[in-house]
Amino acid sequence: MPLADLEFEVTDRVVIAHVDGEIDMSNAHELENAFSLRMTNDALGLVVDLRKVDYLDSAGIHLLYALRERLDNRGQQLRLVVGTEAAISEALRIADVTRTVGAFETIDAARQSITS
Amino acid sequence: MHLDDPQTAQEPLPRAGEGQIFLGTAGAPPLGEGAEQLLHVYRLNELELSDLGLDELLDELLDRTREILNADTVAILLLDDERHELVARAAKGLEEEVRRGVRVPLGGGFAGRIAAERTPIYIAEVARADIVNPILREKGLRSMLGVPLIVEGRAIGVLHVGTLAHREFTNEDAALLQLVAARAAPAIERARVAEAFEREHLGAVALQRSLLPEGTPAVAGVEIATQYLPARDLVGGDWYDVIELPRGRVGIAIGDVAGHGVQAAALMGQLRTGLRAYALEGHAPGETLKRVDRLMHTIRGQGMATAAYAVVEPESGALRYASAGHLPPLLVTASGGARLLDVQPAPPLGTLPYGMYVDVETELQPGDTIVLYTDGLIERRTEAITAGLERLREAADISTSAFVLCQHLVERLVEEGAGQDDVAIVALRSLPLGPKMRVRLPASPNVLAHVRRLLRRWLHAHGATPAEVASLTLAAGEACANAVEHAYAPRPATFELEASHSDGLVTVIVRDGGRWREPRGEHRGRGLSMIAAVVDEVDVRTSDAGTEVVMRKRLGV
């Protein structure tokens, strides 16, 4: 049983990744690779939907910062979608991910912040 | 002396085909010099032959026939009813016939005509006869004599002898061979039926085995045990499954396809796979059964099956189950009492269009066990099913592991010498929880999710709120990840997690054999600060023996 399931969709040249499960050091690296593989050159950015993620620790934080750096180098943007009462919101807040990467409550808000 | 088939024995036989001489066997053959041969024939005692398997029986028979008739070759062909062909099954001096799997159409050639016409045939000169099987010529056979093997007026095969030198087979020879055939045919038929049955049975057992899961997955916070006892004679369609689901949940399923044999086993395999696939898509038990029901309606030659499926969330103890006409699940409580769980009545799978299966929700307390089982465990021919259920409830009145419970139920309920029906049991026990939890695990990234689930379950049972569970799990998860990251080869490393609770204060300790090190890299040195931010107090103690991270948090603040 994989720790997290992953599904992609593309809207308005923005790749949206829905993650469902947990993120720790056992799967963070493969998730990062899976995100990168889906980022075509014409994509404007990536929205990672973390609303169904119920565990994320420093390995996940590292993944998000590394992902932002990788996308930055290609001129692509990263946004997160996090539920208001999410179990992971504390970890994101402590690591300042919410402010530095940019977290939204809905997919649409996150996508529009890239396209507008 | 008499012959078992007077028709064949006494009717004068027509001539047919050049080189063939048909022998009538009318009249009793003179005894005289044949007396000793006859003695051999009588030694082909049916009782003696009946104990042999088909191969041994044929082997024995061929040896004796060759001896009695003083022939160079002897062969037995048996009728393949479905293909209307005779198949060479055993031979002496003509082994290639068997090895090459020679088949002769019923009615064609030497053997084919013997079987079709149920009559003996003598061939004086093979070279000039109408022969289908080339091996007979290749072998250089000159003369042949064959008789049908007849059971209840029906030809089941042909027994024939041959000689390399020209031989005038006499009426006595033909009568002797017929006598051998008459004695041997019923024994051959019995052995053949037994062999076919055995083959079907073994095939079905192997099939059923291959369709059942091998071993059970390790799921945090629960112990799962299964038992499967195949029926002695007929293979049944019982199945069970244990399905690991996302987020540490686990599904257990049981089912019973009506009927026996290969078909029941094959349908069982399809239903088990179907149920597993729908379960993995995340459907609730009732919805899962509904989809299996719809699937079953699309399977050609579908039958009927009962099934039950339950999903357990070990962290909270939530239990949800549904039944499709299956026996009610059994709940064995931590204290040892047992009761049958309520089920929403619903038809078996594959019976009615639009079968609906409703979920029942309840809770599994730490130490409780849920047992799914098939009717082979409780049914006895002479009693009502309610009596069987009551015996099950009484037998299950013990507090023990799921494994021991399964053994115990089989010992108490499956009668000596039973085995009319197969028995499947799957038991899932929510592991008991004490005030203190201590686990030691290999230092591998793959166990991190497992240890988090154990801790969440323990915290939930000790009254922590979801936010408190999340904080303490994050802190402990970081400490465990650190222990795993710094476990150096070559020695196999382990780490330990200990959680205790007293007066509202939870203490979680993670110990390993290495030193605390923040991972390298700009953004990675945040494990310890993460822990410090979510618990009240963190203390990292390093010694030569290793690192101990002690984390404390007061609940309900």
Does A34 have pLDDT greater than 50?
A: yes
What interhelical angle do B35-43 and B171-211 show, nearest 10? 20
The identity of residue B121, as a single letter, is I
pLDDT score at A23: 96
Q: Which positions ≥6 away from B534 have C-beta within 8 Å?
A: A90, A94, B471, B472, B474, B475, B553
CB B357 within 8 A of CB B290: yes
ipTM confidence score? 0.93
CB B411 within 8 A of CB B377: no
A20, A58, A67, A68, best to mutate vs chain B, most B CBs in 10 Å: A58
Say what the pLDDT of residue B196 is. Answer: 76
Which pTM does this prediction carry? 0.70
Q: Is the peptide bond before B30 cis (omega within 30 degrees of 0)?
A: no
pLDDT at B51: 64
- A66 contacts B448? CB cut-off 8 A: no
DSSP conformation letters of B493-552? PEEEEEEEEETTEEEEEEEESS---PPSSTTTTTHHHHHHHHSSEEEEEEETTEEEEEEE
Tell me which residues of chain B, numbers 453 to 492, contact chain A at a CB-CB cutoff of 8 Å.
466-467, 470-471, 473-474, 477-478, 481, 484-485
Evaluate whether B547 touches B512 at the Cβ level (below 8 Å): yes
Quick one: which H or E segment has residue B470?
A: helix B466-485
Q: What is the Cα–Cα distance from B303 to B348, expressed in whole angstroms?
A: 10
Among A50-54, A98-102, B370-374, name the one with the lowest average pLDDT.
A98-102
- The confidence score (pLDDT) of residue B6 equals 36
B517 touches chain A (CB under 8 A): no
Q: For residues B68 and B457, what is the distance between their CA atoms, to the nearest angstrom?
A: 81
Cβ–Cβ below 8 Å for B478 and A66: no
The number of beta carbons lying within 10 Å of the beta carbon of residue B7 is: 11
Q: Are strands A45-56 and A14-23 parallel, antiparallel or unpaired?
A: parallel
Q: Report the pLDDT value the prediction gives residue B279, as an integer from 0 to 100.
A: 97
Q: Which residues of B191-208 are buried (b: 16+ CB within 10 A; e: fewer)?
A: bbeeeeeeeebeebbebb
Query: Using N-to-C axis directions, what is the helix angle for B402-413 and B385-395, rounded to 10°?
Result: 130
Residue B234: how many other CB atoms lie within 10 Å: 18
User: CB-based burial of residue A61 (10 Å sphere; 0-12 exposed, 13-18 middle, 19+ buried)?
Assistant: buried
Residues of chain B with pLDDT under 50: 1-32, 47, 521-524
How close B557 gets to chain A, by Cα (Å)? 17
Q: Is B300 exposed, middle or buried (0-12, 13-18, 19+ CB in 10 A)?
A: exposed
- Give the strand order in the sheet containing A14-23: A4-11, A14-23, A45-56, A77-81, A103-104
- CB neighbours (10 Å) of residue B467? 12
B365 burial type by CB count under 10 A (0-12 exposed, 13-18 middle, 19+ buried): middle
pLDDT of residue B48: 59
DSSP annotation of B33 reads: G
A90 touches chain B (CB under 8 A): yes
**pLDDT for res B40:** 63
- Whether A95 and chain B come into contact, CB under 8 Å, resolves to yes
At A2, the pLDDT band (50, 70, 90 cuts) reads confident
Verify whether the Cβ–Cβ distance A62 to B524 is below 8 Å.
yes
Q: Would you say B136 and B110 are in contact if contact means Cβ atoms under 8 Å apart?
A: yes
Q: What is the pLDDT of residue B518?
A: 57
pLDDT of residue B39: 59
Place of tokens 């998730």: A31
Single out the residue of B280, B288, B244, B251 nearest to residue B428, CA to CA.
B251
pLDDT at A67 over 80: yes
Please judge whether A90 and B534 are an interchain contact, meaning their C-beta atoms are less than 8 angstroms apart: yes
Q: Which CA distances in Å does B482 have to A95, B120, B203?
A: 17, 88, 52
Is residue A1 less than 8 Å (CB to CB) from chain B? yes
CB contact B520 to A (< 8 Å) = no
Per CB-CB distance under 8 Å, the chain A contacts of B247 are 21-22, 54
What residues of chain B lie within 8 A of the CB of A26, using their CB? 445-446, 448-449
Contact check, Cβ <8 Å, A94/B478:
no
What is the 3-state composition of chain B as percent helix, strand, coil, each rounded to the nearest 5?
A: 35, 25, 35
CA–CA dist B219, B431 (Å, integer): 11
Specify the pairing of strand B121-123 against strand B85-92.
unpaired
Are B466 and A25 within 8 A, CB to CB?
no
CA angle, B185 then B57 then B59, to 5°: 115
By the CB < 8 Å criterion, does B532 face chain A?
no
